[in-house]
A and B are shown apart, each in its own frame.
Chain A
Amino acid sequence: DIQLTQSPSSMSASLGDRVSLTCQSSQGIGNYLSWYQHKPGKPPKPMIYYATNLADGVPSRFSGSRSGSDYSLTISSLESEDTAIYYCLQYDEYPWTFGGGTKLELK
């Protein structure tokens, strides 16, 4: 199975900070990587698909990028509503696999 390693596993940042979360794939997956935001009591919310494309309704402060097998989700200016666990998912090869998640909190 393809392993996705997310870092950091948790972090805290201040309002207005630029935040970058990373996801490293154990093998090539092209751009078949998506990001999800998960808050307690709600379903995961799609944020980014195909590595760099913003999902419908997602604020423009979110962006996705790729450098080789490293993928990033960046929040340009952190807002309080962005606190959540963020997961990456590869959908290049079955079984689809998720990263372990990054818990983002406010400092």
Chain B
Amino acid sequence: EIQLQESGPGLVKPSQSLSLTCSVTGYTITSGYDWSWIRKFPGNKMEWMGYISYSGSTNYNPSLKSRISITRDTSKNQFFLQLNSVTTEDTATYYCARDTTDYSFDYWGQGVMVTVSS
């Protein structure tokens, strides 16, 4: 069974960096597909942030392009999100998900709530 699990700090100070890990079990992230980060804001708006592909290429939402980085550790079957210079507007629940292109996002992590506050 494919499972994804986010982890990381639940509180980040403004202007600092947000760093999250997505640990994947049941599927090797280098075998195929794209591996995305998605967030849901208070108020229910959802935003696709970007992905790292099975080959290691990345694609980011232009709204975040200057602040976001998605990387991976293939030895641990994990991928990571770094979002720089965060503000209170980045307070959200962050999800990692597998993007199959044809089937869209078919597996999701449980989500991790991140609050940006001093």
Contact = CB atoms under 8 A, between A and B. Distances in A.
Interface of A: 34, 36, 38, 42-46, 49-50, 55, 85, 87, 89, 91, 94-98, 100-101, 103
A42 to B, nearest CB: 7
B44 A89 contact: no
A85 B21 CA distance: 26
Given A44-B95, A94-B59, A95-B61, A100 B44 contact: yes
A48 B109 CA distance: 19
Interface in B84-118: 95, 97, 99, 101-106, 108-111
Contact of A44 (B47, B99, B102, B108): B108
12 contacts: A34-B105, A43-B95, A43-B97, A43-B109, A43-B111, A49-B104, A55-B106, A85-B44, A89-B46, A89-B104, A95-B48, A103-B44
B63 interface: yes
Contacts of A45: 108
Contacts of B105: 34, 36, 44, 46, 89
